[in-house]
Chains A and B, each alone.
Chain A
């Protein structure tokens, strides 16, 4: 048994066979040899179901959007399967979506790009307005809502949104994209306690070990060597 093996065993100890098996997959994954695949859906607790903020049309858009950004493939299940759409919904339903810790007093002016967010809308209102405007755009251009577009048409729409090239009613397309993109990546990589990153699949994807972090010895022991551990979340430690 190598030192590395001993160390992995220390981290895997007491986690049960399923988790250990996942850890073993990750350990070997110098190149994509995934711990979690679309064919073997995410382990761990079931994803949260149901939406607090998004209405059914908005939810259909959000699921299609996060699945376009985070498609199911050999590296992970899809964004929706990982709870990313639920994560976004909970953020929009909660204090952040309602503009907590933002200065929301007028008067309102468009401002320069250097002056940052000057929308009178809360993030939740902005996303709601933006989804409706994008839906109208897709129906006008392609006669279909975003979620019913084919993969290439979806890619065109997302790319145009990212570049701020779509004229949307009531909201700048770049601002909408940046907001949605930030939410989706948070949903993939934030602690699973927020509803996304199911079974820590985002952390497994990159090799982030989570909340356990006592590396005073490891920083020398693993200098230049890959460190693998079963990632630990807040719930795992609580």
Chain B
């Protein structure tokens, strides 16, 4: 029998970036806000102290800061004809767990999606004609434009102290920035990080080939910074331990040192950790949420937390899982293409070109999570797709993130994997290699979706989320096209050896790490028949439920998602404050 708790105005499920932002914004507005987090609380001191935090095995290999799949995981199959089986250990992607969520252990690569990404369906139709999109592709516009989201991108970037070089301020092109980016109202709050040798070489080679390289925008602080909420961040030390780790110097913007402590200044915000939400409880008519039910994972006790507003701010996959478990919205059916919850799951296609230089020394261990140089010429709709026959693109990046030796020991093709020759080659090439990566978009496709698994259950006795997913021909064409350009730039850098062209060309595997950029499943749209949430990320079906995060993306772009996720969180918080509170109910007529 669950214990019923005192009602609050707002209950937030998940305390990562989106939950932290809503907590800050809605508690500032005077609402009583409760944040529920399934994992533990961690603080920079003592949890991320040197030397303990510099433990590659514990954090990067054994996944200390990530979700524990012994308790909850998902099942996976490439296609509906297969039987989905559990992801028994982490691999392809690494969702976070605990206060700060993935915002603790991210690299800090912080982009805005381009204007065409936000209006992709319209853009493709106008530029290439309606017949250009292949059969089965579920191309969609975001129901809000880039221009509408711009102030919220800006707000996220200033809160997180992003280091970067603007390329377009109010329509004026700025030398050294990304000339393809949407107009921004002002420059980045901090200058770019210091360049590495490989970045300098990559930039020169890309420019020579006619591309437009720019420094990768970084949530790693290029200098000490105090954000508009009064939160202090330190200067990045290029320690090469960003992704997988917490930052001991508070030099990587993370929720636990920005929005969450800012919210905690408000007495009307409280945080409850190790509180695992198992469902959203609905009123009998199914149109309003009563609150949520959670289990205290320390004791196993169950609680009902009533709330006027429920915000799902878990990892995107978790948001979709909770909607399906709670019976909110019609589950998507790929056979009929009806239903909405679970629809539009997307991922990314990545590829790598490894270059080796006999006469160079890159000191790979001097790096930062987002240190790098990017070429955006073939991303989004920055180029004419007509001759190429696909939709989408990729950012092409030379990154200097780390040289941690369990994971990082690049070797030229054909090198033995063990023995004295392997040891000598590992020694020789460790400092003499750098890579170029593509981060490619992924379009929504009829057969790719999320649902509940019929067989496997989590530690709470609930069905696991089931992922049915594979790459599509459109996306293979994208990877082939953009990987060739990455390879061209790599060759122009003049390496002694270069890895062979290896675009993504085979079906999706959940085993090797690729990207923690899982999107969709509760997509935003204009129409309740084809989307799960409206333009304010409000459920079409349950009007006091907001579903915030990358789960709202109708398709995925060739960028890291956190900038867009942060913008959506501020956008939603603003809609709740300025629109919903005065007239609780659907903000968009269905």
Interface code A192-203, partner B: CB below 8 Å = 1, 0 otherwise?
011000000011
- Interface size of A by CB at 8 A reads 67
Q: Give min CB distance, B148 to chain A, whole Å.
A: 38
Interface code B404-446, partner A: CB below 8 Å = 1, 0 otherwise?
1110010000000111100110111011000000000000000
Q: Does B502 contact A (CB under 8 A)?
A: no
Judged by DSSP, the binding face of B is loop
Q: Give min CB distance, B494 to chain A, whole Å.
A: 14
Whether A116 lies near B509 (C-beta < 8 A) is: yes
Other-chain contact of B240, A76, A103, A213, A238 (Cβ < 8 Å): A213
Q: Does A2 contact B (CB under 8 A)?
A: no
Whether B510 lies near A103 (C-beta < 8 A) is: no
Whether A75 lies near B427 (C-beta < 8 A) is: yes
Whether A73 lies near B420 (C-beta < 8 A) is: yes
- CB contacts (< 8 Å) of A214 on chain B: these are 237, 239
Q: Give min CB distance, A50 to chain B, whole Å.
A: 21
- CB contacts (< 8 Å) of B409 on chain A: these are 189, 206
Given A109-B83, A116-B89, do A208 and B403 touch, yes or no (CB 8 Å)?
Answer: yes
- CB contacts (< 8 Å) of B68 on chain A: these are 101
B interface bracket (residues with beta carbon within 8 Å of A): 35 or more
- The stretch from B172-180, B359-367, B520-528, B539-547 touching chain A is B359-367
Q: How far is the CA of A223 from the CA of B200 in the complex (A)?
A: 10
Q: Does B336 contact A (CB under 8 A)?
A: no
Given A114-B507, A114-B510, A215-B238, do A73 and B423 touch, yes or no (CB 8 Å)?
Answer: yes
- Cβ < 8 Å to B, chain A residues 198-231: 202-203, 205-211, 213-216, 218-220, 222-227
- The stretch from A5-13, A54-62, A63-71, A141-149 touching chain B is A63-71
Q: Does B483 contact A (CB under 8 A)?
A: no
Q: How far is the CA of A207 from the CA of B424 in the complex (A)?
A: 12
Whether B63 lies near A101 (C-beta < 8 A) is: yes
Q: How far is the CA of A238 from the CA of B520 in the complex (A)?
A: 45
Closest to A79 in B: B418
- Cβ < 8 Å to A, chain B residues 191-210: 194-197, 200
Q: Give min CB distance, A41 to chain B, whole Å.
A: 17
Whether B62 lies near A96 (C-beta < 8 A) is: yes
With A68-B419, A189-B405, A211-B54 already in contact, 5 other A-B pairs whose C-beta atoms are closer than 8 Å:
A113-B509, A117-B511, A181-B418, A191-B57, A206-B430
Q: What are 26 A-B pairs with beta-carbon distances under 8 A?
A: A68-B419, A70-B423, A71-B419, A101-B68, A102-B69, A103-B69, A103-B89, A111-B85, A113-B509, A114-B510, A115-B85, A116-B89, A190-B406, A193-B55, A194-B57, A208-B365, A208-B430, A213-B238, A213-B366, A214-B237, A214-B239, A215-B238, A218-B363, A219-B196, A224-B197, A234-B52
